[in-house]
Chain A
């Protein structure tokens, strides 16, 4: 009896010592380096980097191009619409997944986002004119939406039923009553586009991208885009994104001769004043979109 008890106690000791669930090994901090870094961070002037002198360019330029899909897009999936069907499936309307919209004849790829990562100059001040971001028939009317930080966005609801609009990473999640709207003014950059959803109707999805300088474009239905008033004479790095892109965080990487397009979906260009740089047709292989 005593023996059994002891064995049980011993056994449970082994079990309890357990080492826990198996977790992947995590990197360990470099203690010496941390102590040095801490000292330099505590020194008020330590590690101060020299302020950028700012590239001395003048004038403005334009970048344009057309994204096309090299391949056959798969048929769009139908969305599961199971709420408010009297509005959302009115007259037998079927909502479909819009993550890959390709123009039937030209193969133009819509909703590719192109933006400048950093710029030193901006030509026009932020407009106080609200941009409209609307929803109708239980669908956001702009699948991908770009705005400049500080520019008011009029989030509208043209449906006869209520929605809510939830922009990831911004803490904006607001009720939008039937036929009404509310103004949201983005106050910081998003980096890569973030999702916009409606929690009441979970199939509703769009993307938003907010940029400080407003140098951002979303390709139209024919795959074309243009960004104008870009600062000339300074190296600009462009970031390219698509919802379905296989790169990190939705980065779209394609191979364009002379552009040195990186895996992070970026390429660099320096434009001349008054130049209209046309990248021409930018063929996106199906693999770059994970098709």
Chain B
């Protein structure tokens, strides 16, 4: 009896083993084989958009390899203005160095959303709303600099410290200062690399006939016109910080809020058009940010294209190298969640410079600094302003909506 049971068990085990072996064989056959070394994914959307030939795509990949190395072994030309030691701490697979210090921080903490390439196409990206930032266009939203300028290092550090409330971006406050610095340096590296790539891809259209479809591999072109031009914008960011006049210490808060409300609904600041008469973000709500708009516009172009071979490849690129576009709702100002930070200063920056890459325009230039402070105060009062009769006393509603 006993031996019969063991025999049965043994048979069952053998069959299971066979099943597992079968599965493993299947695995080997379907096989991605050994995990290949991590590699940067070329910007296929941009390359296909500009109709690069395979040779031209390869030239871009080769130039980028020469300038930036690989995800496991980043290198930098001096003109990139980056600290290679910091980059090495952030790059590569997760591991410890001889001093027991953690390496591969980007892949441990960031790559699953932002992607190894920093293209915002990590494995989890499609499941997040909003999508993780694609660093490659070199556009960042939450910063202390003028709209057209890059963020300062400190701006990136603040985002890593605080995370971005209302999004999937968590706080990394538990990392050491050195680790945070290594990561911000690596984000800059990916951004400079990505922006240089876009510039290189677009440069093919600007070639002269004599160039015969090949980018000149000279220092003058690759460094002076391409890399250094992109890197310089990062270097000059620190000088582009917005000068913010102090909010008057003796300000009458109630009066300031009332003034801010007037501006919010008025034709001058016009916040109401997008953030809505209720402040719930229910105004102009079917717009896209720059990242998504680029995909929307290009999809339309692909759909209308007359070359079926190109359109079919472009459709594949859209499916594999882009996320389904999403509209960007204006912020609901009654929740008290401010993605770029909740300090009055942060809200001042957002109103002054607008939000680069997003529809939010800059008010500076047409709205005076003290008026921006009034709007800041009104916006900060909105989460506490609910009176049960939203919008009743507001001019846009009174017009008979």
Interface residues of A (CB under 8 A from B): 2-3, 6-7, 9-11, 13-14, 17-24, 26-31, 33-35, 37-38, 40-42, 44, 46-49, 83, 117, 160-162, 164-166, 170-178, 180, 182, 191-192, 199-200, 202, 237, 246, 248-249, 262, 264, 290
Which chain A residue shows the least CB distance to B287? A199
Kindly supply a per-residue 1/0 record for chain B positions 263-278, scoring 1 wherever the CB is within 8 Å of any chain A CB and 0 otherwise.
0000111100110000
Question: B19-27, B91-99, B172-180, B337-345: which one contacts chain A?
Answer: B19-27
Our pick among A17, A21, A182, A246 for the contact of B32 (Cβ within 8 Å) is A17
Our pick among A19, A29, A174, A182 for the contact of B65 (Cβ within 8 Å) is A29
Which chain B residue shows the least CB distance to A181? B366
Q: A27–B58 Cα gap in the complex (Å)?
A: 5
A177: which B residues are within 8 A, CB to CB?
A: 267-270, 366-367
A-B contact pairs, 19 of them (CB 8 A): A6-B20, A10-B19, A11-B23, A22-B319, A24-B44, A29-B64, A47-B218, A83-B284, A161-B267, A171-B356, A172-B148, A177-B269, A180-B268, A199-B287, A199-B361, A237-B208, A246-B306, A248-B50, A290-B304
Q: A225–B367 Cα gap in the complex (Å)?
A: 39
Kindly supply a per-residue 1/0 record for chain B positions 11-40, scoring 1 wherever the CB is within 8 Å of any chain A CB and 0 otherwise.
011011101101110110011100000000
Q: A14–B123 Cα gap in the complex (Å)?
A: 17
Our pick among A9, A172, A202 for the contact of B287 (Cβ within 8 Å) is A202
B238: which A residues are within 8 A, CB to CB?
A: none
Tell me whether B57 is interfacial, beta carbon within 8 Å.
yes
* Nearest CB in chain B: distance from A212 CB, A: 14
Contact A3 B16 (CB under 8 A): yes
Contact B66 A2 (CB under 8 A): no
Our pick among B13, B67, B206, B267 for the contact of A2 (Cβ within 8 Å) is B13
* Nearest CB in chain B: distance from A140 CB, A: 15
Q: What is the interface residue range for chain B against chain A?
A: 35 or more
Kindly supply a per-residue 1/0 record for chain B positions 358-378, scoring 1 wherever the CB is within 8 Å of any chain A CB and 0 otherwise.
011111011100000000000
Tell me whether B42 is interfacial, beta carbon within 8 Å.
yes
Contact B44 A26 (CB under 8 A): yes
Q: A249–B206 Cα gap in the complex (Å)?
A: 11
A199: which B residues are within 8 A, CB to CB?
A: 274, 284, 287, 359, 361
B139: which A residues are within 8 A, CB to CB?
A: 171
Our pick among A7, A21, A171 for the contact of B19 (Cβ within 8 Å) is A7
Our pick among A3, A21, A170, A180 for the contact of B148 (Cβ within 8 Å) is A170
Contact B317 A27 (CB under 8 A): no
Which chain B residue shows the least CB distance to A165? B361
Contact B313 A29 (CB under 8 A): no
Q: Using A34-B66, A37-B66, A199-B284 as known contacts, say yes or no to A175 and B367 having CB atoms under 8 A apart.
A: yes
Our pick among A20, A41, A44 for the contact of B67 (Cβ within 8 Å) is A41
Q: A49–B224 Cα gap in the complex (Å)?
A: 12
Tell me whether B217 is interfacial, beta carbon within 8 Å.
yes
B188: which A residues are within 8 A, CB to CB?
A: none
Contact B62 A19 (CB under 8 A): no
A182: which B residues are within 8 A, CB to CB?
A: 365-366
Contact A166 B361 (CB under 8 A): yes
B219: which A residues are within 8 A, CB to CB?
A: 40-41, 44, 46-48
Contact B286 A27 (CB under 8 A): no
B273: which A residues are within 8 A, CB to CB?
A: 83, 162, 200
Contact B320 A24 (CB under 8 A): yes
Q: Which of B306-343 contact A (CB under 8 A)?
A: 306, 313, 316-317, 319-321
Kindly supply a per-residue 1/0 record for chain B positions 202-214, scoring 1 wherever the CB is within 8 Å of any chain A CB and 0 otherwise.
1001101100000
Tell me whether B61 is interfacial, beta carbon within 8 Å.
yes
Tell me whether B77 is interfacial, beta carbon within 8 Å.
yes
Which chain B residue shows the least CB distance to A4? B16
* Nearest CB in chain A: distance from B299 CB, A: 16
A166: which B residues are within 8 A, CB to CB?
A: 359, 361
Q: A262–B205 Cα gap in the complex (Å)?
A: 12
Q: Which of B202-244 contact A (CB under 8 A)?
A: 202, 205-206, 208-209, 216-223
Name the residue in A31, A34, A46, A237 with the highest tally of chain B Cβ atoms < 10 Å from its Cβ.
Answer: A34
Name the residue in A2, A21, A162 with the highest tally of chain B Cβ atoms < 10 Å from its Cβ.
Answer: A162
Q: A42–B222 Cα gap in the complex (Å)?
A: 12
B157: which A residues are within 8 A, CB to CB?
A: none
A2: which B residues are within 8 A, CB to CB?
A: 12-13, 16
Contact B42 A27 (CB under 8 A): yes
Contact B365 A27 (CB under 8 A): no
Tell me whether B87 is interfacial, beta carbon within 8 Å.
no
B63: which A residues are within 8 A, CB to CB?
A: 34, 37
Which chain B residue shows the least CB distance to A237? B208
B218: which A residues are within 8 A, CB to CB?
A: 47-49
Contact A38 B16 (CB under 8 A): no
Kindly supply a per-residue 1/0 record for chain B positions 67-79, scoring 1 wherever the CB is within 8 Å of any chain A CB and 0 otherwise.
1000000010100
Name the residue in B202, B216, B273 with the highest tally of chain A Cβ atoms < 10 Å from its Cβ.
Answer: B273
B321: which A residues are within 8 A, CB to CB?
A: 23-24
Which chain A residue shows the least CB distance to B206? A191
Q: A21–B125 Cα gap in the complex (Å)?
A: 13
Q: A262–B219 Cα gap in the complex (Å)?
A: 29
Tell me whether B147 is interfacial, beta carbon within 8 Å.
yes
Tell me whether B354 is interfacial, beta carbon within 8 Å.
yes
Tell me whether B54 is interfacial, beta carbon within 8 Å.
yes
Tell me whether B107 is interfacial, beta carbon within 8 Å.
no
Contact B205 A30 (CB under 8 A): no
Q: A160–B266 Cα gap in the complex (Å)?
A: 11
* Nearest CB in chain B: distance from A205 CB, A: 12
Our pick among B22, B50, B367 for the contact of A10 (Cβ within 8 Å) is B22
A160: which B residues are within 8 A, CB to CB?
A: 267
Task: Name the 5 nearest CB pairs between A and B, nearest first.
Answer: A10-B23, A171-B148, A23-B320, A27-B57, A162-B270
Q: Using A37-B62, A37-B217 as known contacts, say yes or no to A26 and B267 having CB atoms under 8 A apart.
A: no
Given contact pairs A47-B220, A170-B148, A202-B284, a sample of 17 additional A-B residue pairs in the complex whose CB atoms are under 8 Å apart:
A10-B27, A13-B24, A18-B32, A21-B319, A22-B319, A27-B57, A27-B60, A27-B61, A37-B62, A41-B67, A41-B77, A47-B217, A161-B267, A173-B359, A175-B270, A175-B363, A199-B284
Q: A191–B32 Cα gap in the complex (Å)?
A: 43
Tell me whether B41 is interfacial, beta carbon within 8 Å.
yes
Tell me whether B51 is interfacial, beta carbon within 8 Å.
yes
* Nearest CB in chain A: distance from B177 CB, A: 31
